[in-house]
Amino acid sequence: MTMQRNHHEQIDTPSQAATLPPLIPVPLVREPLTVTMHRFLTPLLLRTGVALALLFSAVAVVQAAGNTPAAPANLQGSITDGTASLSWDVPDDDDGVEGYNIYINNAYSNTVRTNRFSTVVLPDTLYSFKVVAFDAEPRRFSAASEALTLPESLVPDDLTIPPSIPTGLTGSVDDSSVSLSWQPSTDDEAVLGYNVYRDNQYLTTVRSPQYTGNNAAGESHSWYVVAIDIRTNFSPRSERIILPDPGPVDTTLPPSAPTGLNGEVSAGDSGDNVTVTWQASTDDQAVAGYNIYRNRQYIGTRFGTTYTGQVEAGSSNRFSVVAFDFDGNFSTASESLTLPQGSEETNPGTPPSVPTGLTGDTTTANGQTQVQLSWTPSTSSVKVAGYNIYRNNEYRTSVFSNSYSDTVAAGTAFSYNVVAFDSFGNFSAKSAPLNLLGDANQPPFFSDLDDQYLSVGEDWELVLRPVDIDGGAAGILISSPPEGVQFVDNRNGSRSLKWRPTVDDIGSHDITITAFDLQDTDLRTSQSIRLIVSGDEPPTAAPFSLSIAPAAHELVEGSDTGVSVPLTLNRDPGFEQAIDLSVSAASAADEAGISTAFAPETLPMGETQSALTLKLAVDTLPISAQQRRFTITASDGQHSVSASVTVSVRPVARDDVYLIIGQSNAVGFSEEGARQSAAGGLDEPNLRIRQANVRSNDSKLYPDSASYTDITADFHTPAFVTALDPLHESVDPDTLSKEGTRIGMYLSFAKTALPDTSRNIILVPAAWAGSGFCNTESPAAHWNAQPTDQPELGNTLLFDRALARINATLEASGGILRGILWHQGETDAREECAPFYEENLGNLIAELRTRIVADARGESARGPQANIPFVLGTMSQGSDERGDLSKFTPGKLTVNAVHRNIASLVPHSEVVLNDDLVPANGYPCGESSCVHFGASALREMGARTHDALIRAAGN
């Protein structure tokens, strides 16, 4: 049958009759199995997920011999003066293509015989076009072409935004029919239609906000609808209604537990086939469905009373079923059924092994960090049923494989543990913790803004298109535009400033343009440019120009490849001269650590393409995420033109490592009980501050010289833990806590440093109370960097231990050494040792800087004069009833002079002055005597140490 429509022949075909099959989200009603505090709890929550099934299979009544036409390719078109014009490539077909069916917004529109089509369209309306090819009778139909959406100016940047939720769902039942209606949904493009669900199962798709269908007399059903847009995005479901309306009911009554589980197992091709059946549950309203569990793991939802699936060949599995109703109430679990029957395992009475090898990867975008964890599976004499996941020591969920995905806020630190369990409720100990840090969300910015030169009476336009490294959407603000400037939304993710200046506008006008993150409006970047309006004839233009396409150029600190910025030289017709390229930074801060290279630096005659490569060396101290601006200049010797580019700088993704050495004040000998580590306390641990979990300073643990550098024995398990005072005490392996209650200065130091870094901080404690260069019996280990024949001086054991610890930490963590922190001097203030102090300290610094293994900064950051900041502090001058230390002995004065002059004696060094941290100023002394600083003084010293570190890096 044929008919005329819009001057195109319509072919009444199976493809037309069915159009494109509806895009149907298939509901999965899922109840998670919750295992918390090492107990299985009854599930309480109904989870409804949506799986998208895109069904584009054509329905054919008769199939001819031969091939189906290929899908039409290269569909393109435009809308001009209210008419949409399309064209496409003729697809391959062995019999030849006879014609094409045109679909507009997934609904059949017309049939044409050529590979062109035009139709009248409404203004300011978005249309989605697809084409299906067919050949001679009996017809075969191709798959649909890729969709073409017109006009392009109305296509949003984000194509994943779903329609709004359908609201106002109402309905009625009349004899054997049901009628539904609802308020239309809205969408940023166009709503395609609505999926109608009855009793939680897909029923049909309609194009308008109403439905009429059959309803058996006396039956009661629940209904809801889901909106679909032309991009196959699905709205959340509408409110559910029940028809006929049952009136007020108790919605908290659960269904009865399923009974009569029975089943069988049979061999299959890739495993054993399992069938489980049960008796239907009852409910005061209606049972919606059943969740199926295998070995206490949720495996699926069924809306009947039969489950079929596959299991590992030869395995024994326990099945149970939970019923749920439409109000989200769950029955108790059925009695379990083990298949094959008679193969039940017995409780081993022992837990699975502890999960090991816990690792994780993070990916940050749009203000969120995606975490992907994996670990080595546990083992047990019976089957391991699953794993409990803990984040920051709080139970999160249970999983049934050795991987887990999580989402956290960007820029936050978090710690994970995993516990294995079997089907009998036996639980392993927690795995070693894994500390992770997600990259912070970065602010958007403009990559290509420059000062603008305008002429009176001429139209000017500046297109603003912010770039966001994280892939999020960005907003734009304009401050202080001149009168008459228009701010136009281009509806493609950009905006334009448009202006035609007059004589009154001659001069300079400064404006500030701000890009801000729509997810977090506090994340923003502002840039000021100048609009320079001239009434004179514009100067003779150069016969060439330079352009840089707006793009998200990201430069990673320490990257071997850096970032490449493509450059295009636009030559006027006939201009063929060679062009030289150069680059300059907008400021000294933008230039710091940068190396540049062009490829090529000179564009030969006729050439138009080059690229600028920027590299950034790893800095001495951690940097923050930032933008840096550069100007590229092209010159032929007579004329020059410039273009600017802004690149986003991402800090190197390596932890900051600090070595702590010295004697008792470096260890931390505050008052007993001074530690305030509870939530909100001054010494509360921070997940981003970690420490090497090393042996405590007990001479019995170091019986010989070799024991000081025995890393296997020196590092406990786990090797790195969240830092907690006292730092030099190892943690309890079961509780990850410490018995000591004194504090030192370096947790405070790390907290002060934390805002200046995007990474974790690792502290490596290696100090020892009472130690020095001087030869002492207790401790019998000393700080000399090299063996010495000087009888007054001791051995190298503490230096060797510190070197072994810092090297092991750098190698294990991949971190970067950011500083060496020393607090010592009292032991070397002895009359026989003080004269050697300056030389000994200088040797220690030079040897550490030379012999610590190279990190991401490279070999150039090692050597006696290398810029590895070294910070020390002055000795206590406190006085209380236990003694007066305000007056220094001659030996102390000698050591004190070295401390105060360290910045002039050793490059990249600095002193922390602590003279005022005495009881008279409200800073009590520490344990045993005023040789030791008290807790309040130590916390202040930690903050001052960070300030001195910054000064040392610049010395």
pLDDT of residue 291: 95
Residue 540 above 60 pLDDT? yes
| Strand, helix or coil for residue 756 | helix
Task: Quickly state the pLDDT bin for 217 (edges 50, 70, 90).
Answer: confident
**CA–CA distance from 816 to each of 618, 712, 855, 942 (Å)?**
9, 22, 6, 20
Residue 712 above 80 pLDDT? yes
pLDDT of residue 53: 27
pLDDT in tens, 626-666: 999 999 999 999 999 999 999 999 999 899 999 999 999 99
Three-class SS string for 639-673?
CEEEEEEEEEEECCCCCEEEEEEECHHHHCCCCCC
When pLDDT is averaged across residues 462-476 and rounded to a whole number, the result is 82
Give the C-alpha separation, 438 to 408, whole Å: 8
Q: Which of 226-235, 469-478, 498-507, 580-589 has the lowest mean pLDDT?
A: 469-478
Task: Quickly state the pLDDT bin for 539 (edges 50, 70, 90).
Answer: low
Residue 10 above 60 pLDDT? no
pLDDT of residue 199: 83
C-beta of residue 56 within 8 angstroms of C-beta of residue 143:
yes
519: which residues sit within 8 A by CB, 6+ positions away?
A: 366, 367, 441, 472, 473
pLDDT in tens, 359-403: 888 877 666 788 999 999 999 888 888 899 999 888 998 888 899
pLDDT of residue 126: 85
DSSP 793: B
Give the C-alpha separation, 782 to 773, whole Å: 5
The number of helices, as runs of H, and strands, as runs of E, in the chain is 10, 59
pLDDT in tens, 424-456: 788 998 898 888 876 667 788 888 888 898 999
pLDDT of residue 298: 87
Strand partners of residue 720 = 692
Q: Which amino acid is at 845?
A: I
When pLDDT is averaged across residues 900-912 and rounded to a whole number, the result is 97
> Which one, of 822, 484, 794, 509, lies nearest residue 664 by Cα?
822
Residue 157 above 80 pLDDT? no
Give the C-alpha separation, 675 to 575, whole Å: 75
pLDDT of residue 34: 31
Give the DSSP H/E element, type plus range, for residue 87.
Answer: strand 83-89
890 burial via Cβ count (<10 Å: 0-12, 13-18, 19+): exposed
When pLDDT is averaged across residues 460-488 and rounded to a whole number, the result is 87
pLDDT of residue 105: 84
Give the torsion sign (CA, 597, 602, 607, 608). positive
- Compute CA 652 distance to the chain's CA centroid, rounded to the nearest angstrom: 15
**368-376 vs 403-409, strand pairing mode:** antiparallel
Residue 615 above 90 pLDDT? yes
Residue 7 above 90 pLDDT? no
pLDDT of residue 270: 86
pLDDT in tens, 162-190: 999 999 999 999 888 999 999 999 988 88
pLDDT of residue 153: 82
pLDDT of residue 409: 80
Give the C-alpha separation, 851 to 867, whole Å: 14
Residue 717 above 60 pLDDT? yes
Q: Which amino acid is at 852?
A: I
Phi and psi angles of residue 613, each rounded to the nearest 5 degrees, phi first? -105, 125
Give the residue, 839 or 34, on which the prediction is more confident.
Answer: 839
DSSP 142: P
pLDDT in tens, 263-278: 999 998 888 999 999 9
pLDDT of residue 410: 74
Query: Long-range contacts for 918-925 (Cβ within 8 Å, ≥24 apart)?
Result: 918/876, 918/877, 918/878, 918/879, 918/886, 919/878, 919/879, 919/880, 920/879, 923/878, 924/671, 924/880, 925/876, 925/878, 925/880, 925/882
The token pair that represents 654 in the structure block: 């390596």
pLDDT of residue 11: 30
C-beta of residue 201 within 8 angstroms of C-beta of residue 195:
no
Residue 5 above 70 pLDDT? no
| Strand, helix or coil for residue 226 | strand
C-beta of residue 43 within 8 angstroms of C-beta of residue 62:
no
Three-class SS string for 924-949?
CECCCCCCCECHHHHHHHHHHHHHHH
> Which one, of 910, 720, 712, 924, lies nearest residue 822 by Cα?
910
Give the C-alpha separation, 920 to 112, whole Å: 97
Half-sphere exposure of 687 (CA within 13 A, CB side): 15
Residue 561 above 50 pLDDT? yes
Task: Quickly state the pLDDT bin for 107 (edges 50, 70, 90).
Answer: confident
Residue 15 above 60 pLDDT? no
pLDDT of residue 538: 66
The token pair that represents 537 in the structure block: 């004839």
pLDDT of residue 22: 31
406: which residues sit within 8 A by CB, 6+ positions away?
A: 370, 371, 373, 389, 391, 396, 416
pLDDT of residue 955: 86
Residue-averaged pLDDT of the chain: 87
